[in-house]
Amino acid sequence: MSTSPTTGTILDKIVAHKRREVAERQSLVPATLLERSLYFHNQPLSLRKYLLRDDLSGIIAEFKRKSPSKGWINQHAPVERTTLGYMQAGASALSVLTDGEFFGGKNEDLTIARRFNYCPILRKDFVVDEYQILEAKSIGADAILLIAAVLTAEEVLRFGQLARSLGLEVLLEVHNAEELTRTLHPDAVNLVGVNNRNLHDFSLSLDTSKELAEQIPQEFVKVTESGLTSAADILMLREAGYRGFLIGEAFMRNSRPEKACYSFVQELHATEPITLI
């Protein structure tokens, strides 16, 4: 039995549901079938490398229909148009929610995004079992998310090593210094994401990313998540060492998320300091 930490929040409810859901999917689609997928033997793209490119924005644009705290954000946005638009607008990578119960996503959303985009795609879900990592590879993901708040250090290591053996990169999400110290394994993690949302009251503060920046070793690409609403936020956190900026709700609450992304990237370019040669 897992000894994963508990948070006393909606996260516990999500994880309990996810364990039941994964057990059901495993009984219907065994791992041997996942390994026959069109995408399973493809070479994934490197999220890390794309975020480190100086010619790109560093924005990971997220496709997210709803959230537990906000309900439906954008129920009808088409995956193909939105994700293509994100990349044409200047995003560096995509994040696709595949959780259905709490976020309105599905595996097919990521597969559609994969079919129409040549860029790294992060599968955003709540990984609690090795099966989900095989599943991520089979639906065309390039990277997975591991959430320190719901995993033990041993689970992060085991899941991360499996993912990397399949060529997938691993974004470890943390909310505080304790989670970072407890779960950061160089052999299992490529990128560290700091979530600015407080799990207990859903409040947001970019100070979380600023405070943790210096505690993340230089070998890991730093990603900041949640609460990013302006180009000024990006510039401030770049100064703190962040190279990845995951933005979902700020785009998705617009009827045309890809247009919101375009406006954001244009604002970012307009405010970036000019480098004299």
Catalytic entry in 173, 179, 249, 258: 173
Residue of 135, 169, 179, 225 marked catalytic = 225
Length of the chain: 277
Residues 220 and 192 sit within 8 Å (Cβ to Cβ): yes
Set 4, 57, 62, 95: catalytic member? 62
Region of residue 78 (phi > 0: left; psi between -120 and 50: alpha; otherwise: beta): beta
Q: Which of 67, 95, 117, 226 is labelled catalytic?
A: 226
State yes or no: is 62 an active-site residue.
yes
- Letter string b/e over residues 42-62, b meaning 16 or more CB atoms within 10 A of that residue's CB: eebbbbbebbeeeebbbbbbb
Residue 64: active-site member: yes
The residue among 111, 91, 97 whose CA lies nearest residue 260 is 91
Q: Spell out the residues 6+ positions from residue 201 whose beta carbon is closer than 8 angstroms to its own.
A: none
Beta bridge partners of 104: none
Of 18, 66, 124, 210, which is the active-site residue? 124
Question: Measured between alpha carbons, how far is 160 from 215 in angstroms, rounded to an integer?
Answer: 20
Choose the catalytic residue: 107, 195, 196, 209: 195
DSSP 8-state symbol, 244: E
* Beta bridge mates, 143: 122, 169
- 225 carries an active-site annotation: yes
- The verdict on whether 211 is a catalytic residue reads no
Q: What angle do CA 166, 129, 24 make, to 5 degrees?
A: 115
DSSP 202-239: --B-THHHHHHHTTS-TTSEEEEES---SHHHHHHHHH
Annotated catalytic residue 124: yes
φ, ψ of residue 37 in degrees (nearest 5): -60, 150
Which residue among the candidates 4, 18, 64, 107 is catalytic per the annotation? 64
Give the active site residues: 62, 64, 124, 173, 195, 225-226
